Amino acid sequence: MFVKGRIFAVVAGLSIAALGACGTPPLVPPGGSAVVTAAPSLGGCSMFPANNAWNQKVTTLRVRTDSNTLINNISSPGRTNLHADFGGAGAYGIPFKVVPASQPKVAIHYTAYGAESDPGPFPIPGNAPVEGGAASNGDRHVLVLQQGTCHLYELGRAFWQGDHWNADVGVNWNLASNALRPLGWTSADAAGLPILPGLVRYDEVAAGHIDHAVRFTVPRTQRGYIFPATHFASSSTNATLPPMGLRLRLKSSFSLARYHGQALVILQALKTYGMIVADNGSSWYVTGAVDKRWNDDDLNQLKSVAGTAFEAVDTGAIHH
């Protein structure tokens, strides 16, 4: 595993070499000029700076030369169309909780990737919602945003133990910083990315616009990652498989005329900001937050959008 000190993203058309040995990956990728606008917010906190990769429009980025191959391999195991991995009257999706600055901190005991985790304690209450519910045996993500400090705390495979959390992995994200994980390190997500900034949230959709890229999963990935991802979760050297951090964009030629409501807002975001490969899972599953107000009939419109309606855009080199 290659591990180097923390790196920081900047808006500049500079190469890493030009920035020196401790240089930082540019946010403006070689494939064109990403457009930076205001950052989305939650709980009075900006979801990372406006120039963060999650908040960049990708409408002008060039298409990767291997785009068609990557798209085909995402679809090859059988599922070929988009799927909203949230809804069901609040039964599906990844939950999150916003806590006040006064929230007491509790100890975090790491059970798997402690060496790649941030030390506790974290202000995560024992009643914080767990992905899949208290009895889940899945990823069991726990996401907590603390107001005032504007830090985001994310755990993976988390279990409340009466006075502390046991978790495989945990990260303390400073939402005022563009700092990435150390190279080669994981996070609560396989790609080493934050989870909450990439969720489709009901409040955004209800407001009529999503101003950030969206998290999604693919069944197979290669042993590599593209910034802002910092971690791979595969031993495959097959270059035709998508790397972690690969960014896709819904083609500008894809007509949205037949779509309405919640699905229309999501699809417009996929044209403007795109979606980022964040984990291995079901192909074309777009991740959203738990909310009882999702309209499943509305979201089911996404199932008519084929993966071939997307293209992979160039946001930088694949790191192995």
Global pTM reads 0.91
Same domain, 79 and 110: no
Is the predicted pLDDT of residue 27 greater than 60, yes or no?
Answer: no
Same domain, 224 and 114: no
Same domain, 160 and 223: no
Return the structure tokens found at 30.
């070689």
CB burial of residue 116 (10 Å; 0-12, 13-18, 19+)? buried
pLDDT by residue (tens digit) across 167-186? Answer: 999 999 999 999 999 999 99
pLDDT by residue (tens digit) across 247-272? Answer: 999 999 999 999 999 999 999 999 99
| Residue 219 domain flag | yes
Parallel, antiparallel, or unpaired for β 164-167 and 169-174? unpaired
- CA pair distance 163, 9, nearest whole angstrom: 37
* pLDDT at residue 78 in the model: 78
pLDDT band at 11 (very low <50, low <70, confident <90, very high): very low
| Residue 250 domain flag | yes
With a CB cutoff of 8 Å and minimum separation 6, the contacts of 163 are 106, 107, 126
With a CB cutoff of 8 Å and minimum separation 6, the contacts of 206 are 293
Q: Tell me the residue range of the domain where 205 lies.
A: 29-90+195-313
Which among 141, 174, 207 is the end of a domain? 174
- CA pair distance 318, 310, nearest whole angstrom: 20
- Other Cβ atoms less than 10 A from the Cβ of 171: the count is 24
Domain count, the chain: 2
Mean pLDDT, the chain, as a whole number?
91
